[in-house]
Amino acid sequence: MSSKVETRQFQAETRKVLDIVINSLYTERDIFVRELVSNAADALEKFRHLSLTEQPEFDAHVPLEIAIDCDDKKHTLTIADTGIGMTAEELETNLGTIAHSGSGNFIEELAEAAKKDVNLIGQFGVGFYSAFMAAEKVTVQTRSWDGSEGHEWVSDGGGTYTVSPCEGLHRGTKIILDLKEDAHEYGQKFTLERIIKQYSTFIPFPVKVEGKKVNTVEAIWTRSKNEITDEEYTEFYKFVGNAVDEPSYRLHFSVDAPLAINALLFVPQENFETMGMGRLEPGVNLYCRKVLIDQHSENILPEWLRFIKGVVDSEDLPLNISRQSLQDNALVMKLRRVITKRFLKFLAEEAKKDTEKYQKFWKTFGIFLKEGVTSDFEFQKELAKLLRFESSAAEPETMIALDEYVERMQEGQEEIYYINGPNRSAIENGPYVEMFKKQEIEILYTLEPIDDFVLSHLGEYEGKKLVSADRADLSLPETEGKDKEESGENQAEALPEPVRESLCKWMKEVLADKVKDVKTSSRLVESPAMIVNVDGMMTSSMERIMMAQGAPEEQLAMGGKKDMEINPASPLIRKLADLRVNNEDFARDVVEQIFDNAMIQAGLLVDPQQMVNRNYRILEQMASDK
């Protein structure tokens, strides 16, 4: 047999090529196992297709499978398949691709592929050569499905390789790796099981490590939805999401363009970010023909959908030569857009189908969709339809969509109104909703600090501008009928206009630089005063967030000073006008207290010590008056 061994020279540049494959293309050493198992699966798939037409007799009884054996003492790793196998000519052609194509032009292209993302997958058979990352010698024994003589290929990745006949082989290919000294871990069973479960668990053929089948989970996303039971979906979710609960939603779909994609996405029951578990990492894994390409992919979905678990698989993903990363950013963005829009459409459909279930989802994961509105303009339109808020027209704890608000808008109303507060009770007992109640105009209650950021980023919905009720320039639709009569009665009780103007001017002097101006209000019904934002871009809730985050004073100052609006019909304001004449020092304390009260109702900070001392002075004065 030794006389039949042929030693052949790699072409001059092959060593450079192997250096590129081993040292530049692959960033993780474990990848070589994935590549060799993927090649074995391809060989099995080819034989399965061929057997449908050729009906080969040689080794027809041999099952289609991949067997992996390791020897931790001899430091060897063997990966064998019972696939289509290779003839002597195919062996030299397939494994000699680099040698056969060893031109300077080839090396330039391959070297460039290591630096850039170039669509070379399948153009060169470089996956096999990743074996040299871990092996000091690689032996390939193979016999073709047609029963022709078997052969052995051996190389240390240097300047030569040998090809010789090899007797006693079954159909298929066996790759034997003599591991490098720093790669002995790949001769251990538990290392190989871990890699197979991570990268090749959905290979459609049994993968056995030391006789034990490792890939026990089926790639159910490739099957028809009608064939899959709820129990199978749940078990798969638990596997891919490392979960113990059942998913609250699942979306299983396929599309043909711009790429052929199969996707199976799940929404968990719990949001672990709100449970102090830290920021979630993306939960969707990217596969190409059931082989893992990118675990916890950051490319397939926007970051604000990081709570989703599942898989996305495509047979024609634009991969780079190493199959480790996507290339062609334009196609990747199309893929991302298709999947994201499809998921948002799915949520919109579910929200209509089962309102109560969607409200539960919203309370758990709505914060992520709000994040999307503020950070991702591309999907704002779809996300806006999914937003939910409490409303003056709905029962407590009931959330409504913006569409519902628009449907109920009064004739002539051109704006959607909202107001932020710590809870519903605080809002409804505050000054900002008094005129809304009186005129029966619906107002949204934004109970989370981020809500004002969300609505200000959104700007408008269905052509209706979104307006915060604490804006100084707020103009409500004109009241009619009884409301106008009540408004006239209210104004009759108010201070005369000259007194109002004088009082406002004096109050502005008392408050000095605390406010930009003091004005009479057309919105207050019972409360004596309220703080309004002159700058419509900065609501009180947004200012509260910035203060809580420790924003510097100069940044807070960008929001501008506030106006204070007073109610000229309020008994307190009318008495203040008299008090100013009779006891100005006491009246000044009352003005300061009215301002602090209004600031507190706006959720803004005041100096507690100054307020307490002033309260005592006011109480003392009241006691002495009695």
Task: Give the pLDDT of residue 103.
Answer: 38
pLDDT, greater one: 15 or 11: 15
Per-residue pLDDT tens digits for 242-299:
888 899 999 999 988 767 889 999 999 999 887 777 888 999 998 888 888 888 988 8
* Domain stops at, among 213, 238, 267: 213
Q: If you search the block for the tokens 């047609």, which residue do you land on?
A: 146
Per the prediction, the chain carries an average pLDDT of: 85
Question: In degrees rounded to 5, what are phi and psi of residue 7?
Answer: -100, 130
237, 91: one domain: no
- How does strand 76-81 pair with strand 172-179? antiparallel
DSSP secondary-structure letter at 65?
Answer: -
517, 619: one domain: yes
Position 340 in a domain: yes
CATH of the domain at 343: 3.30.230.80
Task: Give the pLDDT of residue 346.
Answer: 98
Q: What is the number of structural domains in the chain?
A: 3
Per-residue pLDDT tens digits for 182-224:
999 999 999 999 999 998 999 889 999 999 999 989 999 999 9
188, 266: one domain: no
Mean pLDDT of 12-20: 63
308, 237: one domain: yes
Mean pLDDT of 534-553: 61
* Domain stops at, among 327, 358, 389: 358
Residue 483 has pLDDT above 60, yes or no: no
Position 141 in a domain: yes
354, 501: one domain: no
Query: Coil, helix or strand for 505?
Result: helix
Compute the C-alpha angle 569/572/574, nearest 5°: 55
Tokens of 59: 């080794």
Calculate helix-pair angle for 189-199, 31-54, nearest 10 degrees. Answer: 70
Per-residue pLDDT tens digits for 383-422:
999 999 999 999 999 999 999 999 999 988 999 999 988 8
Task: Give the pLDDT of residue 294.
Answer: 83
Contacts of 498 (CB under 8 A, 6+ apart): none
CATH of the domain at 12: 3.30.565.10
Position 180 in a domain: yes
Range of the domain at 106: 2-213
Q: If you search the block for the tokens 């790759």, which residue do you land on?
A: 175
189, 224: one domain: no
* Domain stops at, among 187, 213, 239: 213
Position 446 in a domain: no
Size (the chain), residues: 626
Tell me the one-letter amino acid at 396: P
41, 182: one domain: yes
Per the CB < 8 A criterion, the answer to whether 339 and 317 are in contact is no
Q: Band of the pLDDT at 94, cuts 50, 70, 90? A: confident
Position 448 in a domain: no
Position 544 in a domain: no
Position 428 in a domain: no
- What's the distance, Cα to Cα, between the start and end of the chain in Å? 123
21, 41: one domain: yes
Residue 104 has pLDDT above 50, yes or no: no
- How does strand 261-267 pair with strand 249-255? antiparallel
328, 310: one domain: yes
155, 32: one domain: yes
287, 153: one domain: no
Residue 561 has pLDDT above 90, yes or no: no
580, 598: one domain: yes
Position 199 in a domain: yes
